Amino acid sequence: MSNTVYGGDEVNAIILDPGTYNTRIGYAGDDFPKIITPSYYGEYSNKDTTKKLFGQDLLIPRSNFEIKPLLKEGLISDWDSTILQFNHLFNQLKIQQSEQPLLLTEPIWSSTEYKTKLIESVYENWQFSGFYVAKVPTCISFQQGRPNCLVVDLGHDTISVTPVVDGICLIKNSMKTNYSGKFLNSIIEDYLQDKNIVWEPSYKIKSKTITKYPEPAQFQLKSGIETTNSYSQFLKLQMYHEFKELLMIPEKGQTEFPKRIFELSTGQQITLEKERFQFADCIFEPKSYEFKNKQLELPPSNGEIKNLNPLNEYRPLKRFKKSEQEENETASTTPNPDVEVRGLSQLITHSLNLIDIDLRSSIANNIIVTGGVSLIPGLTEKLYHELTNNNPGLKIRLHAVGNQQERINQSWIGGSVLASLGTFHQMWVTKQEYEEVGIDRLLNQRFR
């Protein structure tokens, strides 16, 4: 067997990695997903019939066409549409369900009900020969080949910090906040609103003349197509994406901020100077930006994941025996109630402090930074400096994939690695087993 060299055994499994922004699907063993598609669906209503559209179809401007998200914080929120989307993807890849197992990723903060629903709907809707639910940080740790690590995932909706030990996520020590890509979007929106800058989707614009910011935008709109608000919001995501590409993390004590010009679809140019640094720094200091429009503000979050599921309910620590020593210990490990908002490095430091002391140094040595937001220039450098300053006793090492696309799709690639391992094939759960054993035991014993 030649494949024993790297322990692989290809069974042509399907990896499906739904994220808040994009959903990825492809074959196990590949180094890149076959399809990357936005996690949104379009609802086209025409008199009596409604039709759901996915993928490229979303971009075509139509009237009576609502675009809605499928997921929220990495969890499927619109089940019916998501199942339709998955079907759509499976058809696109021409998958033979009876011959191919399916690996699905899920975030660590999914509740038991969510998992139950997920597993049930998979077995009900499709006939895959095997099925497995893998946690996103586990996949990322497999992508990097580091069984003990701290996965820092800067996604679209959430920043999550998860320690992984022997490939298994430690949920109690994980942290999650929403000060991530979407948060930056709302900062940008607030900034544009504050400056009274209008934005129109580019397909609407008939003609435009270039103007510079204090001047108002000069453009003419096309007439004829009446699109919905949700559709233009969806297109706005692209504008945010471009805007965010200008962001940079400031260096310590930086006083000079190089200019960049950002041109909107209306032909209006905004000169960005300090703002690009100020906005990016909100990843570390979420409170440093003051929202003019309070509606856009996020509720404060110190990163603790509450009420995971009835099994793992996170009660405040109440020890039966409290000697002096232990009190010291609790003071250091239990979260300080004053801390309302945690930035990225505080989040990681806190998570590190929660981890068992025996594991801490090896985990601090293997911090994996991933996700689209981590691509902001200077982020890993600043993170490294802050972490080493905050944890002088630990030797911090950050690992981030150099390739941009790989960093965005790291969890999918990890799933691809995982599902092509020969040892993994004993983990697939068949429908038969699901029916025999029942969902509770599956959750406890198989999908760990």
Contact map string, positions 336 to 355, toward other proteins, x by CB under 8 A:
-------------------x
Amino acid at 78: D
Which of 134, 122, 128, 131 lies closest to 100 in space, CA to CA?
A: 128
The answer to whether 192 and 250 have CB atoms below 8 angstroms apart is no
Alpha-helical (H) ranges within 214-306 are: 229-244, 274-281
Shortest CB 170 distance to other proteins, Å: 4
Rule CB under 8 A: choose which of 340, 356, 435, 440 binds other proteins. 356
Say which residues have a Cβ less than 8 Å from residue 377's Cβ, sequence separation at least 6.
Answer: 248, 249
**Least distance in Å: CB of 165 to other proteins?**
5
For the chain, what is the total number of helices (H) and then of strands (E)? 14, 21
Under rule CB under 8 A, residue 415 binds other proteins: no
CB of 364 to other proteins, least distance (A): 9
- Under rule CB under 8 A, residue 320 binds other proteins: yes
* CB of 114 vs other proteins, minimal distance in Å: 17
Binding pattern to other proteins, positions 5-44, x when CB under 8 A?
--x-xxxx--------------------------------
**Residue carrying the six token digits 């040892």:** 423
- Minimum distance, C-beta of residue 444 to other proteins, in the bound complex (Å): 7
360 binds other proteins (CB under 8 A): yes
C-beta separation of 416 from 29 below 8 A: yes
Min separation Cβ 171 and other proteins, Å:
6
Considering only 307, 317, 327, 438, the residue that binds other proteins (CB under 8 A) is 317
* 271 interacts with other proteins by CB under 8 A: no
Q: If binding is defined by CB under 8 A, does position 358 make contact with other proteins?
A: yes
Q: Would you tell me how many other CB atoms lie within 10 Å of the CB of residue 357?
A: 7
Residue 225 tokens, joined: 């197509």
Residue 388 has a CB neighbour count (10 Å cut-off) of: 14
Applying CB under 8 A, among 35, 168, 246, 341 the residue interacting with other proteins is 168
Dist. CA 283–CA 386, nearest whole Å: 13
The DSSP 8-state label assigned to residue 21 in this structure reads: S
Q: Which is nearer to other proteins, 9 or 297 (CB)?
A: 9
Residue 200 identity (one-letter amino acid):
E
Residues 217-246 that bind other proteins (CB under 8 A): none
Q: Which is nearer to other proteins, 11 or 237 (CB)?
A: 11
Residue 438 touches other proteins, criterion: CB under 8 A:
no
Say if CB 105 and CB 18 are below 8 A apart. Answer: yes
Nearer to other proteins, 94 or 321 (CB): 321
Ramachandran category for residue 103: left, alpha or beta (phi over 0 → left; psi -120 to 50 → alpha)? beta
Burial of 89 per CB tally in 10 Å (0-12, 13-18, 19+) = buried
How many chain residues interact with other proteins (CB under 8 A)? 57
Q: Measured from the CB atom, is 164 or 283 closer to other proteins?
A: 164
CA neighbor of 159 nearest in space, from 363, 24, 380, 347: 347
- How many C-beta atoms lie closer than 10 Å to residue 127's C-beta? 10
Please, which of residues 393-412 interact with other proteins by CB under 8 A?
Answer: 393-394
Distance CA 27, CA 11 (A): 9
CB 305 within 8 A of CB 314: yes
**Is residue 144 at the binding interface for other proteins, with CB under 8 A as the rule?**
no
Query: Which helix H or strand E contains 51, and what residues bound it?
Result: strand 49-53
| Nearest to other proteins of 2, 196 (CB atom) | 2
**3 state SS of 442:** helix
- Residues 40-79 touching other proteins, rule: CB under 8 A, are none
Q: By rule CB under 8 A, what string of x and - marks binding of each residue 112-141 to other proteins? A: -----------------xx-----------
- Binding mask 88-117 vs other proteins (x if CB under 8 A, - otherwise)? -----------x-x----------------
Query: What is the DSSP code string of 103-120?
Result: EEEE-TT--HHHHHHHHH
Q: Residues 293 to 312: which contact other proteins by CB under 8 A? A: 311-312
Q: Sign of torsion, CA 139 170 157 274?
A: negative
Residue closer to other proteins, measured from CB, 69 or 422: 422
Q: Is 83 in the site for other proteins (CB under 8 A)?
A: no
Q: What minimum distance in Å lies between the beta carbon of 394 and other proteins?
A: 6
Residues that bind other proteins (CB under 8 A): 1-2, 4, 7, 9-12, 99, 101, 129-130, 165-166, 168-173, 311-313, 315, 317-321, 325-326, 328-329, 332, 355-361, 389, 391-394, 422-423, 425-426, 428, 430, 432-433, 444-445, 448
